[in-house]
Amino acid sequence: MKELKVLAVVVFFTLVTYWGVEPYAHSVMHKHVEFKNFKYEDLKPIAAKGDAAKGQALAAACAGCHSIKAAKMPAPMDPVTASATYGVNPPDLSLAGALLDEKYLAHFLKDPTHTAMVAHKFKNKPYPMPPMATDDQSAADLVAYFKSIAPKEVTAKEAYEFACGRCHEMRYAKWTQIGEEPKTKPNIQTKMDEEKLKFQEKLAQYKDHLVKYLGKLPPDLSIIVRARSEDFLKTFVEDPQAQLPGTAMPRVGVNKEGYEKVFQYLEEVGDPSKPKREAVGPWVIGYFILFTFLAYLWYKSQWKGLK
């Protein structure tokens, strides 16, 4: 049929244009970084077998700066004071064994700046995290301990808070670097919300410390899944320096499952309509297929005997 040929020409030029301005142009604009599946192959495997009991004894030293809620050890300082001291609030270690790659964690305990790839930021000042393991054995013991206390199930939100949430705000989920925004109410007479103002003051101080520590305020991640491609996010988290040389973003060292959890949370907050789209889409398209079928019958009946 002649009309189908005309349609084929239109579709052809449309697709060529689409290919040129989308996949092709983006492949030229964005650096290609190979995804390595969170294997951290630049780090040597640790042969030593860890002993959780020995690790527990060593972990007492960690509690000087970190909270370990799973072992009922509270934080020595509140987040703002901690950030004044260290630049950033040190993480609670309860989830470290579940979300971080084992090999990464062992190397991080031995040589934090190198493993987190932040040596370039700490040439003239000390990194707040000192090496905590002197050899492979003590590193393996600590890793075994953290694995033993880690919960079996970690939620997507917990994974985000642990891995990203002390530097990155997520205002669409009411998350700040010092925790969730408290639910407060303004005074009905004065219309002023004192509790909220106090919280904001703390947050402002924390952000000040963070900017001093990192050089700039890390971006809010509310809709980062729409602003960056899936491929960029995973290769960036896996190896920040490969995507953005010189960035202050450390290599966090999440394992594959840990990253998937984090991404799940980013998607839940940043693209909340995804499940709704998937539910409504087939109905709308089905409706138009039916519409088109009926319109076709009408068209055929009207054009019958015209040619």
Partner 1 sequence: MAHFDPNARPFSHQWLNDRLAVDTLKRVLSTEYWIPKNINFLWAMGMVLAATFGVLLISGIFLLMYYIPDTKQAFDSVNYTIMSEVGYGWLWRHMHGVAASVVFLIIYIHMFTGIYYGSYKRGRELIWLSGMLLFVSFSAEAFSGYMLPWGQMSYWAGMVITNLFSLGSLDFQGLVEWIRGDYVPGQAFLGRFFMLHVLLMPLIIMALIVLHFGTLRLPHVNNKDGEEIDFEAEAEKWKAGKRKEAKVIPFNPVFLSKDTFVLGVYFIFYFYLVFYHFEFAMDPVNFDPADPLKTPPHIYPEWYFLWSYEILRPFPKDPGLIAFGFAQVIFFLLPFLDRSPNVAPANRRGIFKFWFWILLVDMIVLTVMGKVPPIGIYTTIGTVAAWVFIILWVLLPFITKAEKPVRGHK
Give the one residue of 24, 74, 212, 256 binding partner 1; rule: CB under 8 A.
Answer: 24
Query: Is residue 193 classed exposed, middle or buried when 0-12, 13-18 and 19+ CB atoms within 10 A define those classes?
Result: middle
Query: Considering the rule CB under 8 A, would residue 284 count as an interface residue with partner 1?
Result: yes
Is there a contact between 147 and 97 (Cβ–Cβ < 8 Å)? yes
User: Contact between 299 and partner 1 (CB under 8 A)?
Assistant: yes
The CB-of-31 to partner 1 minimum distance in angstroms stands at: 10
Q: How many alpha carbons lie under 13 Å from residue 294 in its C-beta half-sphere?
A: 6
Degrees (nearest 5) of the Cα angle 106, 109, 112?
A: 115
Query: Does residue number 215 form part of the binding site for partner 1 (CB under 8 A)?
Result: no
Q: How far is the CB of 272 from partner 1 (least distance, A)?
A: 5
> Measured between alpha carbons, how far is 281 from 289 in angstroms, rounded to an integer?
12
Taking CB under 8 A as the binding criterion, the range among 117-125, 129-137, 152-160, 282-290 that sits at the site for partner 1 is: 282-290
Candidates 61, 151, 172, 197: give the one binding partner 1 (CB under 8 A): 172
- Residue 239 CB partners (closer than 8 Å, separation 6+): 33, 36, 117, 251
Stretch that binds partner 1, among 32-40, 112-120, 189-197, 225-233 (CB under 8 A): 225-233
Interface residue with partner 1, options 74, 130, 186, 281 (CB under 8 A): 281
Distance of CA 18 to the CA centre of its chain: 30
22 belongs to the binding site for partner 1 (CB under 8 A): yes
CB closer to partner 1, 13 vs 35: 13
Alpha-carbon dihedral angle through residues 215, 227, 267, 78, given to the nearest 10 degrees = 20
The set of residues, in sequence order, having a beta carbon less than 8 Å from that of 77 and lying 6+ positions away, is 85
Check if the beta carbon of residue 54 is closer than 8 Å to that of residue 61: no
CB of 219 to partner 1, least distance (A): 7
Among 32, 49, 72, 276, binds partner 1 (CB under 8 A): 276
Site string for partner 1, 26-65 (x = CB under 8 A): --xx------------------------------------
**The two structure tokens encoding residue 280:** 């409504």
Three-state DSSP at 162 gives helix
Q: Using DSSP, how many helices (H) and how many strands (E) does the chain show?
A: 15, 2
Q: Is 306 in the site for partner 1 (CB under 8 A)?
A: yes
Strand partners, 73: 68
| Coarse DSSP helix, strand, coil percentages of the chain, rounded to the nearest 5 percent | 60, 5, 40
Which amino acid is it at 173? A
In terms of CB distance, is 122 or 172 closer to partner 1?
172
303 binds partner 1 (CB under 8 A): yes
Q: Give the dihedral sign, CA 111/112/116/121.
A: negative
Smallest gap, in angstroms, from Cβ of residue 297 to partner 1? 9
Tell which one of 20, 74, 130, 186 touches partner 1 (CB under 8 A).
20
Instruction: Enter the tokens of residue 251.
Output: 């290599």
Closer residue to partner 1 in complex, CB, 151/281: 281
* Min CB(212)–partner 1 separation in Å: 18
Size of the site for partner 1 (CB under 8 A): 51
Contacts to partner 1 by CB under 8 A? 2-3, 6-7, 10, 13-14, 16-18, 20-22, 24-25, 28-29, 171-172, 219, 222-224, 226-229, 272-273, 276-278, 280-281, 284-285, 288-289, 291-293, 295-296, 298-299, 301-303, 305-307
